[in-house]
Structures are given as structure tokens and as C-alpha cells.
Structure 1
Amino acid sequence: MMIDASYFNDEDALFKSAFEHSAIGMALVGLDGDWLKVNSALCRIVGYEKEDLLATNFQTITHPDDVDIDLKLVKQLVNNEITFFNLEKRYFHKEGHVVWVLLTISLIRNPDQTPRFVISQVQDISARMKAEAEYKALLMENRMLMQNLFEVQEKERRYLARELHDELGQWLTAIDAESQTISRRADRHLDLQVSAETISGSVKKMHGVIRSMLRQLRPALLDILGLTDSLRDLQKQWRMYHPDTLCEFS
């Protein structure tokens, strides 16, 4: 394909062609925000015909929450505080829905360095923002599920600790007391004494197993009994296994 060499010498034609056929949205915007020139890609992004878009300004289609930061950055450009800026912002599509874009802005100046207009490059990032929002929602859902699971586990731990302490523990204490009573009364029945002591020994072992389980269920037991009652329970267990040692809390 032959191209006239004069085409490459026509900078205006090159600019117009690159501007119009750019894969991303492009616009020349006046310092007051009016659209001076827009390309087809930008029109597709916001859903406007060129004539309709040129009849508005960028403030008109910008989400209200994003207007101030946009104007602030443009002011910094005009004041020569920055040479360009990138901004993720929201446009309103002609059909009413929000379109997320990545905006890159630079300033064109006159030969005397006074501001002339800005060049806007606009990339549609709606798909990326949607994916990020869905990812964040999924993370939040997972955190809620984990929290619910933790609460269910804690509830089960409290229930198990309560049953071990209030039910099984009390029954074992009663059995141990009965076995000791039998042992004291069976003076002439050695076999009964041996059986009673065996029962008492088994009860003590079971108490040990329960204490071990309750330690693993901490802080569930503390939640159920509170610190004071938990200490009293510990004192009670100590007395059972060390009857000759005084243990008191004041």
C-alpha cells in the first residue's frame, strides 16, 4: 500500500487521525470544562453522540463526588504545580448507569506559557472495578462466615464445658462421696473396701480427664463461671486430691 509522503508532513492530519482512531477515549477540554473535541472511543464509553457530548461539559457527566477533586487537580496543572495527573473517577453514561474510568490529564500551553486547554485520555475500567467490588464482597462474606463459624464453635464449647462441669462433674463427685462412705462402713468386708477404693480411684481419674478437657475449653469455662467461681472450682478440685493441704482464697 503506497502512502503519499506529504501525509507525514501534515502534522495536523496525523494528530487528527491518531486522536480519532485511538483505542482509548480522548478529548480536548477547555479550562472551563467544556468539551472542545472528543473522539469516537470516548463517545462509546459514555454513550453519547459527538454532537450531544460537545454540547455539555465534563462536570455535567461526572459523578458529583468526583467533581471537586478533578477541578482541584486541574487547578494545580494551571498553576504549574504538577505536569499531569491520573484519576480514577466516575462518569454517568447517557443511559444513567455509572462508568468507572482512569483519567490521564495534561495541559497544553500557548507560546507565552498561558494555559490553553487540557488533553484528556480516558480508559474504561468498569470491568476491573466491578471485579474488585465482587472480590471485596466475597472477602467480606468469607469473613462473616468465619465469624459465624467461630461463634458456633464457641457456643458448642460453652455448652460442652457447662455439661462437663455441672452435670458429669457433679455426678462423679457424688459417686466418689458414696464410694468413700461405703469404704468407711465396710470395716469387715475387705472386698467391698477394695471395690469402693477402686471406684474412688476411677472417679479421680475421670475428674482428671474432665479437668484436662476443661482446660482445653478455656476461656469457655471462665465465660460460664466467671473468675471467682472458676477459682472456687479449682479450690474444690484441689481439696479433693490434696485433703491434707489447706487451700483458701480471700
Structure 2
Amino acid sequence: MRTLKLGTHALAPTEAELVRMLLRLYGHNGKCKWAYAETSPYDALLVDASSLHTANVFQERMPAKHMLRLARGLDDADVLSRPLSAHKLRSWLDEVEESLSASAPVTPHAPELALAPAATPEPTPEPPREPPSLPPESAPRYRLERWPHQMILRKDPARIRMATLLSRRALNARDLVALTGFDPQRCLVFMQVLQASSLLTPAPPEPAAHTAGGMRPPMLGKESASRTKTGLTQGLISGLRKRLGL
């Protein structure tokens, strides 16, 4: 089976790790096997859309036969919307496989010539990245909709523990770090893999208490409640005195 190389450029460490895990999850499904590549040349490349300034210059520095941009809120032929979807990425890789198979030239038999070795382009160093930051405490929480496939869990006790916690209650990545003590990147990537595989469902909003008019009544303090009770008592005593003629 032919192996194709998929690379990434300017993606967050958690997103790049997500791509690695998805490729392992795909396995041998398809005509070709996809492998994550650290250096060029690539058969396909995933690029952060905000890092592209001049397309021609970029193609010269990071050669790839096919390139897919990742952006937020966009979905197009060469743009994939964030968060990354496992199904959409698999569909795009299938299209790349077909395109590469159709354009593969047939090499005729020819006499061997003494040619100078082709120069291998040097990989472009990427800027240093900051460590992944956890979402705020108010970030959306998700619960596991169904148990993950063994290709996702990979008999890893840490992943099994996180999946068990998510099957019991709705959590976010910050909650997982607090409950397990695991590395933030491990929790973030695992949540992203589950979300990309459509295994998470958002937690329902908390019910709010309402009165008949649709508004929550204001809470009375202790002093206000005491004054209200005293006023009612004095009103009852005054009414009884009037009735008795006192």
C-alpha cells in the first residue's frame, strides 16, 4: 500500500497532535496510508489560514502538491472550518488520493544518465509556540454521547479514565485537568479528538427560576425580612384594638 505524507504549518501544538491521532485512527481505510510528516516535501499540507501572506512564496518554501487551509467559520473547496472534523478531513484526504492517482505519470524505460543529486529543500523553521492554555472555568462543557472506539482509547488508562469521567457528567478541558492532574495538552487533545469524532454533546443550559411575570423575585435581606414581619404584626394588633374600641 502506498504511503502518503501529510504535514502541518503554523498550527497550535494541540491541533497538530490532533491531526496525528486522527491519521492513526484512520489506519488503512482507503487506497493509501497517510502518515504524519515533520519535514517537507509533503503530498498534502494543512495550514493555518492566518499565516498565509503570499501564496506563491509560501508554496516555494513549503512545497506540497495539495494544500488545505484551516480557518474559523469558513467551509470551502480549499478551506476547512474549525474545529477540525474527522469526517471532513478524511473526505479531503480521499480527494487528494484520487487526484494523485489520476496525475501519477507512467515512467518509461530509459537509459540511465549520470545526474547530479537533487538538492533537498531545507525545512522552514516554525516560530516557537506558547504552551497550550486551558479554557476559562465558564467554557462550554460536554458529555460523552457514546463510548469511543478502541482506536481512540488505544488501551491507554489515562484516556479510559477521562472517557469515564465524561460519561458521568459534562466537563471541559479545565475540569479534566483538575480531576485527573494530567498534562493540559493531553486533556485538550483528547477533548478535541472526541469532538472531531462527533462523540461529545453539549451540556444543556441550567434552568432558571422564574415567577409568573417571567422575572426572578429579588432576594430580601435579613433586616428587610425582619422589618416586614414586624410591620405585619403591628398592623394586626392595631386592627384588633379598633374592633374592641380600645
- TM-score normalised by the chain length of structure 1: 0.24
Larger Rg: 1
Relative to its length, the structure with more helix (as a share) is 1
Between 1 and 2, higher relative CO (CA 8 Å, sep ≥ 6) is seen in: 2
- TM-score normalised by the chain length of structure 2: 0.24
